[in-house]
Structure 1
Amino acid sequence: MIAINNLTFEIGARALYDEANWHIKPGEKIGLIGANGTGKTTLLKIIVGDYAPTSGTISMAKDIKIGYLNQDLLSYQSDKSILHVAMEAFGRQNQLHTEIEDLLKKIETEYTDELINKLSDKQLEFEALDGYNIEYRAHEIMAGLGFSEADTHRTLAEFSGGWRMRVMLARILLQAPDILLLDEPTNHLDLPSIKWLETYLQAFEGAIVIVSHDRYFLDRVVKKIVESRKGKLIPYAGNYSFYVEEKGLREEIQSGQFKNQQAKIKQEERLIERFRAKASKAKMAQSRIKALEKMERVDDVDDDNPSVNFSFKFSKQSGRHVVRIEDLTKSYPGVPIVKNATATIEKGDKIALIGANGRGKSTVLRIIAGADKNYTGMCETGHNVTQTFFAQHQLEALHLENEIIRELQAFAPKHTETELRSILGCFLFTGDDAFKKIKVLSGGEKSRVALAKALTADANFLILDEPTNHLDIASVNILIQALDQFEGTFIVVSHDRYLLDNVANKIWFIEDQEIKEYPGTYAEYEEWNSKRVYVPKAITAESPKKETKKEDKPASATEDRNKDLKKLNQELQKLETEIAELESSVKHAEAELAKEEIYSDSEKLSEANRRYQQLSPRLLKAQAEWERMADEIMELEGK
């Protein structure tokens, strides 16, 4: 499908790739991994032709269709609706639709056999390209990525960068390419959207290459890992977990080979020194020297998994209650966040606050941090609590003229320079990088500096909002180690499930405008949540809660299930009636289009065609809804 042969790519005097080779086969699902700076994004750009290799070749079929998602797409601007932007994927269908509309108008005043034949050809091609279903497909994918029906009519300019990236992802997925190249696709997605994308990619029939730091996402989607390392592309035949295990075995073998070779070299060197002293053995010594020079050396194993070797320091312990929230109500115009919410953070809690975007996770963090005072109710910090707050906007608090090491020293004077250099190394600032000025750093690098600052604060309570956004897998592992060693309290918002599963002992989620708690790990929460049937509250200001009489008994789970089944079956019957009527109408519309008296009359033809285009998508949508409801009924009946 795509063959990379002897690829060399140089930036100045540095070779990102040195005669690297890689063949991507049809249908392969591949995770492209490696430390930051090893050229993963660069390689994707070489494949699509944005960059030219220094030497080597990239071979692929001429008609191959590549869908490429990259962070540069955030700069795309449009005053069109996001549905229109997404449907730009259907270039030929959109062109045909316009041409058909123009022909229909033309036939109203200029009726000729030539125009009728041309219209017929366009309609046949449009139907062959599934043109009547493209809008339904666009709505389906955008709903999966978290857009409501109302959202699809808003302009692209109204959305933030993360949501714009989702629109561009929808456009790429709608192109149905032969191969998808996805550069950090989960960076701007919440957990429900990540799970939807996983399901979509698992069923995708083309090839996929994914650059991602989300190891759970890689485990669920890819069947092969290719590591970009030391200028080469090293394949592993399995998902990310298999790669970790297999790489460990390979490194164990390599380490043994290295030690054995080093022992042999030392033995040979001792013999050479002994032979050199004797004239009769000088020839033998020279022979052994040449053999030693020709020996192919085995490299020692590099440590790609640095460990945290600094300790957190905070000068005082907090009281038992770190934060108390009572009757908290917060909303934005037209968007309620929480209402009369109550929650408590106790000393030693490691809380993951999770949920879909727009549910108010970051808002709750800002209220806890004291950065948002515009609410009613109480959010009270406990005795001796000292906190630090990490969020993307904290980058603005960095002093641009400071060197990185000086920025940390000013913020955390109790840490030695060695300790600070150590933590900077963990976040990819090694050697002289520590003396770079903040103003020359990229956005991602500034984010890593701000996170390093947060972890060195004299704080017993950490508040972290999406701390992994610009970290590679090795740096995420460092963060996990750091939080695991932290003896204080923290609350974190993140879509990185591996991080959450390894650091959290409580899960918070916002539901029915309340802060709810699950007392366990993220994996335990996921298992619990997958089994429960959540029914949103239907109580509003206009419909007050019914008073519960003493003799009223709570409905059992079986009764609730039976009620749900009865309701679903009733709705399914209504839908079946609607589908039958739509099928009849579609058949009638198709028959009308085939009648001579219709296609020979321009006005009647135009009206019949419009009617058919309206009915067909409605039928498909109703059929998809029937399948969804039928699956839900089967699931309930199986319980």
Structure 2
Amino acid sequence: MSNLGLQIRQAAPHVDPVVADYAKGYLEHLSTATQDAVQSKQLSLTDEVTFLKSLLVSAGAEESKISPLADELLKKLNLQLSENQARLEVTGDTSKRLLDINVLKSHDNKANINTSLALLGVGGDIEHQGRQIETRVDLKKLEKAEKKIAKKVAKRNNKFVKYEASKLINQQNNEDYDSFFLKINPLDFGSGAGKSKDIKIDTFDLYVGDGQRILSDAQLTLSFGRRYGLVGQNGIGKSTLLRALSRRELNVPQHISILHVEQELRGDETKALQSVLDADVWRKQLLTEESQINNRVQEIEKLRSEFNEESLEVKKLDNEREDLEGHLQQISERLVDMESDKAEARAASILYGLGFSAESQQRPTNSFSGGWRMRLSLARALFCQPDLLLLDEPTNNLDVPSIAYLSEYLKTYPSTLLVVSHDRAFLNEIATDIIYQHNERLDYYRGQNFDSFYATKEERRKNAQREYESQVAYRKHLQDFIDKFRYNAAKSQEAQSRIKKLEKLPVLEPPEEEKNITFKFPDCEKLSPPILQLQDVSFGYDKNELLLNDVSLDVQMDSRIALVGANGCGKTTLLKVLMETLVPIKGYVSKNPRLRIAYFTQHHVDSMDLNTSAVDWMSTAFPGRTDEEYRRHLGAFGITGTLGLQKMALLSGGQKSRVAFAALCLNNPHILILDEPSNHLDTAGIDALIRALKGFSGGVLMVSHDISVISNVCNEIWVSEEGTVKRFDGTIYDYKDYIISTATKAGVVKRH
């Protein structure tokens, strides 16, 4: 590997000398790697050489000249590694000259060059396992080179951090969970000891894949041990920010472990409990290594007996055993720290709290529906207890009992939590701070839950509006004086003074306007009772296993009923019986012959033709009106202007839900039967839904997990459990206390 500097200079004569020196030093460090590093996939020489190639091209080198040099260097490095292996076999050398792949990661992406260089500059030296090797590059010159390269990349891309969501999601989907976990959270003994786990990322821009900027000159500060609620309108980029953090697209320190729950678990034959245990890849890997080392130590003992005590082979075996026993001690200490012996009991407790019975915990994961697999993903994350836990709408697939358990569990979460949620009651329970994402920036409301944040935000907005109006009035006062006396000889000096004052005033920007979203369910004529009744209804897909048994329920024109209970207990089945899409085995359903019902379920959103506009879809699915009438009706649900004319694929989840609400209400219903109506709605949408339901002239029966929606709309609570449905004597908060009390008695959660 001699004459590296000359070779690089000849192939890239126009590159800054500091960058060339950096590349030379980097390659010399690579030459210290051993064969073991490559075989154990701790180091990929191809990836590292590719990174250097992209670095030099970004700094001004011609790719046609750099590519042959890169190929030649890769051959030499592979040859040198082969020689290292041969030397090890002869000498029994056990020194660990492995490059830290945690530092040399993800260099093949040009957009990551600035981040990668910053990582390499930390601490002055490139980290190695076992011993430190002083860098041969002048750090001041290196810093200058980093800034130059970063400036070029930023200028070319017109951005600082580019996050391509679809590419990275596919990247995770193409990797197995263990590989992706270790890529994001490499296992490194003692690397985080004594280091702060606070996160502070200064002045970054964040773009989504199509070039749309979602954050500009933003700062992200997360204090270890705090629980942050990330809120903002639908489509503002909250989920994108979480994904960028979870893949270290933003510069999160390497010693901070991260786990993101955003998609359901892939099903296979693994049992649910074992799936949760396997989620802690560090524990799984340590246990595997512990077993392998113990087996190898036993083999060494047998092999030693075959050789003379003074032989070279015995010396090599003793050296190997000494290294193995030292590593085994590290593994044992790490397993004790993570309380590995209590893992199975803790995993079972988490699963039970999220609704998995002891029997279902032994079922294979591919036997669960999508919603239950999402719960498994959540259970796996809670079991791992990463330093930074990222949750994206965790309550969407949970019932009220599971949400109650989750909120109690998270109240004592020992590390940092960042959660995206529109569930006010949930955020009020668990959040210690609120981060408000809007207008390409992040605003912090420290020490506040959602309700106090909402009040403070509104007060800030009013103060900003008053200040803006005051400044406008002051400007107008100055301008009026100037216009009146500009050409008056006696007053001209005063006019000039006011002109200077006006010029020095800062540029005015009006406060951000809150988007006022409205829903309006159409009024309906009154009907005489009975409106809709169930009388002693029993139903089951199997007559021997009834989901509903002797259920009686009465819905009136003024009803506001919330149906709650654990998932799988028959709530949705009950709604389908009411709608007469399922026929009861026993009992009967009676309803007023003139009754019109609107039934909302997430299925209606999923079944839309997203390649058409909302107006075209409604005219096809519900014909009989003009386009103008459809647009006016959509406007009553916040789909105004051109939103009704653009493809629904471009609408957010909340906007699609509004289209579904509008479509269902075209027949002026007397009764609204709603299955999880608040899913995918942001805070403004939920507020609009609450107002509309409270003002609706007909009856409402809803299945919902959102406690704030239930408490604001419903005056009756019906609980589905143990095969029957009964009225609960109390409010939704009383029901939540009942759930927590039951879980506390069972030892699943601890009351705080």
After TM superposition, the score normalised by the length of structure 2 is 0.64
The secondary structure found in structure 1 opposite 2:516 is coil
Q: Is the counterpart of residue 79 in structure 1 residue 269 in structure 2?
A: yes
Query: Match of 1:350, as an amino acid?
Result: R
Q: In the alignment, is the contact (CA less than 8 A) between 2:404 and 2:736 conserved in 1?
A: no
Rounded to whole Å, the distance in 1 between the matches of 2:289 and 2:245 is 35
User: Corresponding residue for 2:348?
Assistant: 139
* Structure number with higher relative contact order (C-alpha < 8 Å, ≥ 6 residues apart): 1
Residue number among 214, 234, 259 corresponding to 1:67 in the alignment = 259
User: Corresponding residue for 1:90?
Assistant: 280
User: Corresponding residue for 2:366?
Assistant: 157
Rounded to whole Å, the distance in 2 between the matches of 1:166 and 1:20 is 32
User: Corresponding residue for 1:40?
Assistant: 238
User: Corresponding residue for 1:454?
Assistant: 664
User: Corresponding residue for 1:575?
Assistant: none
User: Corresponding residue for 1:517?
Assistant: 727
Rounded to whole Å, the distance in 1 between the matches of 2:519 and 2:604 is 25
Rounded to whole Å, the distance in 2 between the matches of 1:419 and 1:434 is 10
The secondary structure found in structure 2 opposite 1:74 is coil
User: Corresponding residue for 1:3?
Assistant: 200
Q: In the alignment, is the contact (CA less than 8 A) between 2:537 and 2:584 conserved in 1?
A: no
Rounded to whole Å, the distance in 2 between the matches of 1:310 and 1:185 is 29
Query: Match of 1:18, as an amino acid?
Result: S
User: How far has the Cα of 1:486 moved from its partner?
Assistant: 0.2
Equivalent pairs counted in the alignment come to 530
Report Cα offsets for 1:356-376 as digits up to 9, x if no partner: 111111110111112222533
The secondary structure found in structure 2 opposite 1:336 is coil
Query: Match of 2:261, as an amino acid?
Result: L
User: How far has the Cα of 1:297 moved from its partner?
Assistant: 4.5
Alignment of 1:497-576 (within 5 A): 497-518=707-728, 521-523=731-733, 525-526=735-736, 529=738
User: Corresponding residue for 1:554?
Assistant: none
Report Cα offsets for 1:399-425 as digits up to 9, x if no partner: 556421344564695995674343342
Q: In the alignment, is the contact (CA less than 8 A) between 1:505 and 1:519 conserved in 2?
A: no
Rounded to whole Å, the distance in 2 between the matches of 1:309 and 1:62 is 47
Query: Match of 2:365, as an amino acid?
Result: L
Rounded to whole Å, the distance in 2 between the matches of 1:532 and 1:137 is 20
Query: Match of 1:390, as an amino acid?
Result: F
Q: In the alignment, is the contact (CA less than 8 A) between 2:234 and 2:654 conserved in 1?
A: no
Deviates more, 1:319-328 or 1:354-363: 319-328
User: How far has the Cα of 1:241 moved from its partner?
Assistant: 0.9
Alignment of 1:438-517 (within 5 A): 438=648, 445-517=655-727
Q: In the alignment, is the contact (CA less than 8 A) between 1:508 and 1:515 conserved in 2?
A: yes
Q: Is the counterpart of residue 244 in structure 1 residue 417 in structure 2?
A: no
Query: Match of 2:633, as an amino acid?
Result: L
User: Corresponding residue for 2:418?
Assistant: 209
Query: Match of 2:234, as an amino acid?
Result: N
Query: Match of 1:63, as an amino acid?
Result: H
Alpha carbons of structure 1 residues 481 and 109: separation in structure 2 relative to 1, 3 Å: same
User: Corresponding residue for 2:229?
Assistant: 31
User: How far has the Cα of 1:128 moved from its partner?
Assistant: 5.0
Rounded to whole Å, the distance in 2 between the matches of 1:9 and 1:120 is 43
User: How far has the Cα of 1:94 moved from its partner?
Assistant: 2.3
User: Corresponding residue for 2:601?
Assistant: 391
User: How far has the Cα of 1:26 moved from its partner?
Assistant: 1.1
User: Corresponding residue for 2:555?
Assistant: 345
User: How far has the Cα of 1:16 moved from its partner?
Assistant: 1.3
Query: Match of 1:330, as an amino acid?
Result: F
Q: In the alignment, is the contact (CA less than 8 A) between 2:236 and 2:438 conserved in 1?
A: yes
Alpha carbons of structure 1 residues 440 and 411: separation in structure 2 relative to 1, 3 Å: farther
Q: In the alignment, is the contact (CA less than 8 A) between 1:310 and 1:422 conserved in 2?
A: no
Query: Match of 2:256, as an amino acid?
Result: I
Over aligned residues, Cα RMSD in angstroms?
A: 3.5
User: Corresponding residue for 1:548?
Assistant: none
Report Cα offsets for 1:244-280 as digits up to 9, x if no partner: 1111221221122122112112222222221345467
User: How far has the Cα of 1:522 moved from its partner?
Assistant: 2.7
User: How far has the Cα of 1:153 moved from its partner?
Assistant: 2.1
The secondary structure found in structure 1 opposite 2:216 is strand
Alpha carbons of structure 1 residues 189 and 268: separation in structure 2 relative to 1, 3 Å: same
User: Corresponding residue for 2:635?
Assistant: 422
User: Corresponding residue for 1:599?
Assistant: none
Query: Match of 1:2, as an amino acid?
Result: I
User: How far has the Cα of 1:514 moved from its partner?
Assistant: 2.1
Rounded to whole Å, the distance in 1 between the matches of 2:749 and 2:500 is 77
Alpha carbons of structure 1 residues 455 and 3: separation in structure 2 relative to 1, 3 Å: farther
Q: In the alignment, is the contact (CA less than 8 A) between 2:534 and 2:590 conserved in 1?
A: yes
User: How far has the Cα of 1:223 moved from its partner?
Assistant: 1.1
Query: Match of 2:201, as an amino acid?
Result: I
The secondary structure found in structure 2 opposite 1:85 is helix
Query: Match of 2:418, as an amino acid?
Result: V
Q: In the alignment, is the contact (CA less than 8 A) between 1:386 and 1:461 conserved in 2?
A: yes
Alpha carbons of structure 1 residues 499 and 456: separation in structure 2 relative to 1, 3 Å: farther
Q: Is the counterpart of residue 366 in structure 1 residue 579 in structure 2?
A: no
Unaligned runs of 5+ in 2: 1-197, 305-317
Identity %: 29
The secondary structure found in structure 2 opposite 1:395 is helix
User: Corresponding residue for 1:403?
Assistant: 613
Q: In the alignment, is the contact (CA less than 8 A) between 1:321 and 1:383 conserved in 2?
A: no
Q: In the alignment, is the contact (CA less than 8 A) between 1:93 and 1:131 conserved in 2?
A: yes
Q: Is the counterpart of residue 233 in structure 1 residue 442 in structure 2?
A: yes
User: How far has the Cα of 1:229 moved from its partner?
Assistant: 1.1
Alpha carbons of structure 1 residues 231 and 434: separation in structure 2 relative to 1, 3 Å: same
After TM superposition, the score normalised by the length of structure 1 is 0.74
Q: Which has the higher strand share?
A: 1
Q: In the alignment, is the contact (CA less than 8 A) between 1:504 and 1:521 conserved in 2?
A: no
User: How far has the Cα of 1:120 moved from its partner?
Assistant: 7.4
Rounded to whole Å, the distance in 2 between the matches of 1:508 and 1:24 is 41
User: How far has the Cα of 1:519 moved from its partner?
Assistant: 6.1
Query: Match of 1:179, as an amino acid?
Result: L
Report Cα offsets for 1:439-468 as digits up to 9, x if no partner: 665666533321232345410111100111
Rounded to whole Å, the distance in 1 between the matches of 2:519 and 2:673 is 22
Rounded to whole Å, the distance in 2 between the matches of 1:178 and 1:400 is 39
User: Corresponding residue for 1:265?
Assistant: 475
Rounded to whole Å, the distance in 2 between the matches of 1:397 and 1:62 is 43
User: Corresponding residue for 1:18?
Assistant: 216
Q: Is the counterpart of residue 320 in structure 1 residue 546 in structure 2?
A: no
Query: Match of 2:218, as an amino acid?
Result: A
Query: Match of 2:206, as an amino acid?
Result: F
Alpha carbons of structure 1 residues 184 and 281: separation in structure 2 relative to 1, 3 Å: same
User: How far has the Cα of 1:313 moved from its partner?
Assistant: 3.0
Deviates more, 1:289-298 or 1:172-181: 289-298
Q: In the alignment, is the contact (CA less than 8 A) between 1:38 and 1:228 conserved in 2?
A: yes
The secondary structure found in structure 1 opposite 2:636 is helix
The secondary structure found in structure 2 opposite 1:452 is helix
Residue number among 147, 157, 178 corresponding to 2:387 in the alignment = 178
User: Corresponding residue for 2:339?
Assistant: 130
Report Cα offsets for 1:317-356 as digits up to 9, x if no partner: 2222221111211123475311122221222101100111
Q: In the alignment, is the contact (CA less than 8 A) between 1:390 and 1:451 conserved in 2?
A: yes
The secondary structure found in structure 2 opposite 1:203 is coil
Query: Match of 1:6, as an amino acid?
Result: T
Query: Match of 1:82, as an amino acid?
Result: A
Alpha carbons of structure 1 residues 108 and 259: separation in structure 2 relative to 1, 3 Å: closer
Report Cα offsets for 1:172-196 as digits up to 9, x if no partner: 1121211211111111111111111
User: How far has the Cα of 1:19 moved from its partner?
Assistant: 0.7
Unaligned runs of 5+ in 1: 53-57, 535-623, 633-639
Q: In the alignment, is the contact (CA less than 8 A) between 1:18 and 1:231 conserved in 2?
A: yes
